[in-house]
Chains A and B, each alone.
Chain A
Amino acid sequence: MFQAAPLSATVPFSDTPIGQKIQEITGTRLDIEYLVGTDSMTKANLMTASGVYPDIVSAGETAGVFIAANAFIPLDDLIDKYGQNIKKIYRPKELEMAKSQHGVTYIIATNRPTIDNLYPAAGYYLSYAVLKDAGFPVVKTLSQYAQLIKDYMAKNPKFGDADNIGFTLPTEGYRVSALQYGAARFLGGYPNDGVTAVDQETLEAKLVMRMSVSKEFVRFLNDMWHSNCMDKETFMQKDDQYLAKIASGRVLAIYDQRWAVINGLAALEKSGHYDRILVAFPVVVDGVEKEYYRGPYAFSVQGVSITTACKDPEGVMRYLDRICAEDIQKLVYWGIEGVDYSLVNGKFTRTREQRLNSFDEDYKKSQGLEQFNNLLPHYELTDDPVYGKFSDGNWVYTAMNQEYNDMRYRDFEKEILKNYGVNTFCDFFAPAYPARYQPGWAARQQLPQDSPEFIASEKALELASEYFPKITMADPSQFEALWDEYQAKLNAIPGLDEYEKKITEIIRESSKYY
């Protein structure tokens, strides 16, 4: 099997007690090749160019490459024959949509929606130090956010011996998306739809780079730069440097998605700088009423496929279906009975110690707890009792009760929450809205890579990563001129209108499956 994600995202199967148990039950040893580096696109293209495939590929966002190269086999008959468990844990609509995209099913989704009521998935982060200094304000607008950073920087230019960093962004490799469009779309009150922002009424997709909110965002960056708040290394830092800065506690503010900085934040906590912890807020530009930071948790079709190189597709499908059975899913999510949880009156319970273990990333990795849920097909983590519970009535998701939250938050986090008078860090945000369509980032992956529309969008992205640093560093008097130059060049790329139209079509078409 090939997994288009680096090993750091998960752990080798056979190294953990839970992984070994799963191997025993299925009688199958899964050899996994992980992505080295971050560039799954290049790897996918090299694989298809060579034509040498493993039995299973978890292609993630590169599925289109494999499908265009005829590397995957249709799974419909196999699912019909062997997929009893698969049919039980996926909604009929999900299976239908997977089929609708290519006329046949190539992919069993492993990228399933997840609810998280503890931490918002993305946001404009501010350091605890800044919040405390300003008397714990609830941050709502971009101008307020900028002012808080500037005020704190003016008073406290240094943290220990090092300079405070007012604001920074990830810009290496694909992480530059935060700069290109990621940070701007939320400011305008749009959910995460990749390169595009989707109007929630009409479901019309527009390129974020061509919207006025992008201009507001880069104006903010320009302002940060010239008030000496922005990290001068922002546009040339590697991702590990970025995370190291966060871990050092020098960073006062970032925009990012939580999963991407989780390692930096964990290191910050381990070093004991609780007063520098970063808290996310749903920042918007003036005039925007509704924000979609927590977005709709929409399902999309990303997951595992069987390749043409597989000699025994039936065996593989039986294996995948076996993985979806309850006993294995209990191992995946709850762990080994008696070690990670116990059965009390038919209910799954965890002692305090077991709970604390389940919060410890190191323990989870060595035990294999919650490590294989994104690798292979799995239950959805939902509060929907039909799909979110095992047949014995226990929740799949271990975080379905308040007791979990209480224990999950660390003392310094509880203190922040107490100062704000809220229960969770999600309470600053609007609740997640119900999903109505396939997210724009998933729609983009359905376009063939050599189509003029896709190429146009790639060129637009490249232009964005070229111009954003330029405009940010430019003298404020040149801001307007440079922005106009950027927009003129952007609009001169042929095929962008068609790109928006194509994505709109795909999104509207998908809306009938939600």
Chain B
Amino acid sequence: MTVLNENIRAKTSLNRKDTIWKKIVKQRQLLVLSVPFMIFVLVFNYLPIWGWIMAFQKFVPGKGIFGSEFVGLANFKEAFTDSNFINAIRNTLLTSILKISTSFVSAILLALMLNEVRARLFKRIVQTISYLPYFISWVVAVSIVYMVLSPSSGIVNEILVALGLIKTPIAFLGEGKYFYGVVALSNVWKNVGWNAIIYLAAMTGIDPEIYESAIMDGAGRIRRIISVTLPSIMPTIKLMLILNLGNLMNVGFEQVYLLSNPSNIDASRTIDVYIYTYALRSGRLSYGTAIGIFNSTVAITLINICNYISKKIDGYGIF
């Protein structure tokens, strides 16, 4: 065994150049296909990093990057001494964790349930209905949320009052304590169908023979879900989790900003909203860039930590 391995290794090192070249030739169509996307990433994700210089300046648009005055870490200092910014970090993390966990669990549950449905027509209908909201924009979705949750005419309050669960209608969007929940649940409603697709796809790839042998061994439905389906889609779940955690600092500007209002601002002020109000709207590009750098640093660190842990536990990471 060892001898064999060593032989292979010796061969590969000898022919390394050849194999890479061969690989390239072999996959040339794929490579050509990926070129536009590489250019896209380069232009929109890497080139703008040049603008990070602004974070260390007092940037004035008319003067440009070369003409503006350098101020060192003043922008970062200002951010970390502002209690609103600290509040924004807290809200971002809370909202994000809640959003990721709910959307994760709901999508997997929906996928598992759909997978068990045998009636094709019913399955199709449920799938279509559940992923339709994904295609409407947050502007429209938020107006629907506002209408549904309205304390004077919203259906949610009417049902709760009719059932006797509450005495007076609750202004769900008028108090900070309900805000995280509203964001998480409206996100589930809008995205659950879409998010479930990827898990459904993973499930179709499971070899039916495994199920058959599980049935032979006397496994019931629940048993099969726990012992066959879930372990089989575990790599997909992990991949999605790591990708999602990289977005921990991005809670989605549109949704949160549109749902925010003066009475829930201490819960709805996320980092994105903070950047918008204090940096973009008041033209302080330097300040906004500084916060953006902080954001990216945290995100990169998080993704690396997750990947590391995942690799340590069962040797599967995304890079």
- A interface residue numbers (CB < 8 A to B): 39, 41-42, 44-46, 48-49, 51, 65, 68-71, 163, 171-172, 176, 179, 232-233, 235-236, 238, 449-450, 454-455, 458-459, 462, 465-466, 468-470, 473
Contact = CB atoms under 8 A, between A and B. Distances in A.
Interface in B263-286: 263-266, 276-278, 280-285
Contacts of A69: 60-62
Interface in B61-100: 61-63, 84
Interface of B: 58, 60-63, 84, 143, 146, 150-152, 169, 171, 173-175, 261-266, 276-278, 280-285
Given A236-B146, A458-B278, 7 more contacts: A41-B281, A65-B283, A68-B61, A176-B262, A233-B152, A236-B263, A450-B283
A41 B283 contact: yes
A48 B61 contact: yes
A71 B63 CA distance: 11
Nearest to B143: A238
B152 A465 contact: no
B29 to A, nearest CB: 38
A163 B58 CA distance: 53
Given A45-B283, A232-B171, A469 B263 contact: yes
Given A48-B61, A69-B62, A163-B152, A469 B262 contact: yes
Given A41-B282, A449-B283, A462-B84, A232 B263 contact: no
A69 B264 CA distance: 35
B262 A171 contact: yes
Contacts of A39: 281
Contact of B263 (A45, A70, A458, A473): A473
Given A233-B151, A236-B171, A179 B262 contact: yes
A238 B145 CA distance: 13
B261 A172 contact: yes
Contacts of B263: 235-236, 469-470, 473
A447 B305 CA distance: 45
Nearest to B286: A450
Given A235-B262, A236-B261, A49 B285 contact: yes
A71 B265 CA distance: 35
A64 to B, nearest CB: 9
B62 A449 contact: no
Nearest to A48: B61
The 8 A-B residue pairs with the shortest CB-CB distance, nearest first, are A70-B62, A235-B263, A469-B263, A45-B283, A69-B62, A69-B61, A465-B262, A48-B61
B97 to A, nearest CB: 23
Given A68-B60, A459-B84, A236 B282 contact: no
Contacts of A172: 261
Residue from A45, A51, A71, A470 whose CB has the most chain B CB atoms within 10 Å:
A45
B282 A458 contact: yes
Nearest to B175: A473
Given A70-B62, A171-B261, A233 B171 contact: yes
Contacts of A179: 262
B171 A68 contact: no
B146 A238 contact: yes
A71 B151 contact: no
A232 B146 contact: no
A176 B84 CA distance: 19
A299 B51 CA distance: 41
Contacts of B284: 449-450, 455
Nearest to B174: A236
B179 to A, nearest CB: 11
Contacts of B282: 41, 45, 449-450, 454-455, 458
